[in-house]
Amino acid sequence: MRLIIFGPPGAGKGTQAQLLANKFGIPQIATGDILREAVKEGTDLGKMAKTYMDRGQLVPDEVVIGIVEERLRRPDCAKGFILDGFPRTVKQAEALENMLKKLGVKLDAVVNLEVDEEEVVKRITLRRTCRNCGAVYHLVFNPPKKEDVCDRCGGPLYQREDDREETVRNRLKVYREQTEPVLKFYEARGLLRNINGNLSIDQVFQEVLKALGVQ
């Protein structure tokens, strides 16, 4: 299965991508996670990316395209993958199309999670992320068993710098202006599957499986 999980920031892409990755036994490739890892390690890439991420802007196309190209060549992607947070511009979508052509594989679907803007803001501003393993929680909708502690690895939970309300509004504007046009690109290729992402995590997952024709 080769999928893209698409939607505005906070739509639940990472949450659904993780569930799908577990179900199908294929890797979740989240460009945001890869970039945050580079920031944490303090690499040159991380230092550069941070200047964009903290302001809620997109990291330059050529940087993100290079990251994904390298990642898709790894052997664990041979049986499939789930792209989460990529592509975010039409230029990235075109680059992905070329990469997949070179690899001789095709996308199965682009799952678009449609979520109202006010719901997205509620989801992002109460999101908590594990500093250690990147697992994602929500203080109300999906709380950890123990306050501020990751269920999965015991690491500390924190609020991402870019999840504060001022930055969130800017990220949504960037989404509307630069990322939403990507939907037309995939609609034209017959790959787009629109899903009501306002439902609960479990209900959304069932809708996604239905749209993919699996149960």
Task: Note the residues at the interface with ligand AMP (CB under 6 A).
Answer: 9, 31-32, 35, 52-53, 56-59, 64, 85-86, 88, 92, 162, 171
Binding partner of residue 141 among ligand AMP, ligand ADP, none, CB cut-off 5 to 8 Å per kind: ligand ADP
Q: Which residues pair with 157 in a beta bridge?
A: 130
C-alpha span between 195 and 204 (Å, rounded): 7
Surface-to-core class of residue 188, CB atoms within 10 Å of its CB (0-12 exposed, 13-18 middle, 19+ buried) = exposed
Six-digit token pair at 6?
């698409």
Binding partner of residue 72 among ligand AMP, ligand ADP, none, CB cut-off 5 to 8 Å per kind: none
Radius of gyration over every alpha carbon of the chain, rounded to an integer in angstroms: 16
Interface positions with ligand ADP (CB under 6 A): 7, 9-15, 123-124, 127, 136-138, 141-142, 200-201, 204
Is 152 designated active site? no
CA 72 to chain centre: 16
Q: How far is the CB of 44 from ligand ADP (least distance, A)?
A: 26
Is 127 designated active site? yes
Among the listed residues 50, 91, 122, 160, the single catalytic one is 160
Of the CA atoms within 13 Å of residue 47, those in its CB half-sphere come to 3
Name the CA dihedral angle for 103, 79, 81, 203, rounded to a multiple of 10 degrees: 140
User: Which of 1, 71 has the CB closer to ligand AMP?
Assistant: 71
Six-digit token pair at 146?
């123990």
Binding partner of residue 2 among ligand ADP, ligand AMP, none, CB cut-off 5 to 8 Å per kind: none
User: Which of 162, 207 has the CB closer to ligand AMP?
Assistant: 162
Q: How far is the CB of 143 from ligand ADP (least distance, A)?
A: 9
Among the listed residues 36, 88, 123, 193, the single catalytic one is 88
Give the strands of the sheet with 157-158, arranged side by side.
136-138, 127-130, 157-158
Catalytic residues: 13, 88, 127, 160, 171
